[in-house]
Amino acid sequence: MPKRDAISPTSMEPVSHPSLLAYVQDRSMGARHIILLDPDDQTPEVAAARAVAAVSAGSRMVFIGGSTGTDDDNVHATVLAVQEALELCAWNASQDSGLSEDDWKVPVVLFPAGAHALSPLADGITFMMLMNSHDRRFIIGEQVTAALQLKEAKVSPLSMGYLVCAPGGAVGVVGKADLIHLDDTDKVREYAVCAEYFGFDLLYLEAGSGADTPVSSDLIQAAKGACDLTLIVGGGIRDGQSARRAVHAGADWVVTGSLTEEFDDPDELQRTLSQLISNIGST
Ligand code: 1GP
């Protein structure tokens, strides 16, 4: 991971959140939206424009990462571009009307494929265990490789159990996951309690990027009923209806990635995400 001092001038310290974990766990605002930006699919400049459109639309967190094609260089360049763009918007807001300065201070969080795809400029990282992988690397290996450098860079860890559900997509294959199937509510309950007993703060139910079908309501409800962890749901959520269904079932955060990449025009993206996010809010 590039060293923060070597790369960033002092003005590019990450926007520090008073407590990233408290922010993520806060349920007082209802369910919220995360935009996922994959550095393998877009330039840093495009990612930054999409992040600005998403935050304008009401996204409250930015994830940066992807299962394949990411490394320290493209992840860091993307984090840097996104942080700079959001800081500029925050500064503009302090001089103008529209969104308030604080509305732009959303955390930029790494959602990495492994220890090779990090940036010291991120506010935090989903420090995850892919619980249903059968490869030690994704359970504890990558985490051990990354931990010390993350601590030195002061990137806040969000400890997270990560469960890949069918269809699973690229992450299911790369992560060597024993997929949790649509109706396997007992299995998801077992994992949810296990995540809680490990002391994780978050649980992520993932259907895989671009999935034909998102995580089922039954699985979300089962996880929600079994533990009190902050629940993130993503994969295959492409419209207000599926976002709303996930929130009704118990999601605290809904992630969209692929949908975002369909729009080159930031205004169009903003309109689409505003509509999706209003559906989350109106549950
Ligand atoms: C993938 O859950 C995320 O890790 C987002 O999935 O790209 O299908 O929105 P989509």
Cβ 58 vs Cβ 276: under 8 Å: no
Nearest in space to 260 (alpha carbons), one of 76, 33, 24: 33
Distance CA 125, CA 121 (A): 11
Percent with pLDDT over 70 in the chain: 92
Q: Is 114 a residue whose pLDDT tops 90?
A: yes
Residue 56 near ligand 1, beta carbon < 6 Å:
no
pLDDT of residue 3: 52
Distance CA 66, CA 42 (A): 11
Q: What's at 97, amino acid-wise?
A: S
Residue 35 near ligand 1, beta carbon < 6 Å:
no
Residue 258 near ligand 1, beta carbon < 6 Å:
yes
pLDDT of residue 99: 76
Structure tokens at 34: 């995360």
**Contact residues for 60 (Cβ-Cβ < 8 A; gap 6+):** 29, 32, 33, 34, 106
Kindly state the average pLDDT of the residues 153-173: 97
Map tokens 């590019």 to a residue: 12
- Residues 41-68: pLDDT tens digits? 999 999 999 999 999 999 999 999 998 9
Q: Is 189 exposed, middle or buried (0-12, 13-18, 19+ CB in 10 A)?
A: middle
Residue 234 near ligand 1, beta carbon < 6 Å:
yes
In the structure, what pLDDT confidence band is assigned to residue 185 with cuts at 50, 70 and 90? very high
Atom of ligand 1 nearest to the CA of 256: 9
> Distance from the CA of 45 to the center of ligand 1, in angstroms?
20
Q: Is 16 a residue whose pLDDT tops 70?
A: no
Q: Whose CA is nearest to atom 4 of ligand 1?
A: 209
> Distance from the CA of 6 to the center of ligand 1, in angstroms?
32
Residue 34 near ligand 1, beta carbon < 6 Å:
no
Nearest in space to 126 (alpha carbons), one of 97, 152, 102, 158: 158
> Distance from the CA of 233 to the center of ligand 1, in angstroms?
9
pLDDT of residue 162: 98
Residue 237 near ligand 1, beta carbon < 6 Å:
yes
Atom of ligand 1 nearest to the CA of 66: 4
User: Residue 268, Cβ neighbours under 10 Å: how many?
Assistant: 12
Q: Is 282 a residue whose pLDDT tops 80?
A: no
Extents of the domains making up the chain:
4-15+29-156+235-281
The torsion angles phi and psi of 86, rounded to 5 degrees, stand at: -70, -35
CATH superfamily label, 4-15+29-156+235-281? FMN-linked oxidoreductases (3.20.20.390)
Kindly state the average pLDDT of the residues 95-116: 88
Q: What is the dihedral of CA 169, 171, 174, 176, to 10 degrees?
A: -90
Residue 209 near ligand 1, beta carbon < 6 Å:
yes
Cβ 108 vs Cβ 37: under 8 Å: no
Nearest in space to 156 (alpha carbons), one of 255, 14, 8: 14
Residue by residue, DSSP assigns 6-26 as HH--GGGS----S-HHHHHH-
Distance CA 86, CA 59 (A): 12
Residue 256 near ligand 1, beta carbon < 6 Å:
yes
Helices (H), the chain: 4-7, 20-25, 44-57, 72-95, 136, 142-152, 169-174, 185-198, 217-226, 240-249, 266-281
pLDDT of residue 95: 83
Kindly state the average pLDDT of the residues 245-253: 98
pLDDT of residue 18: 56
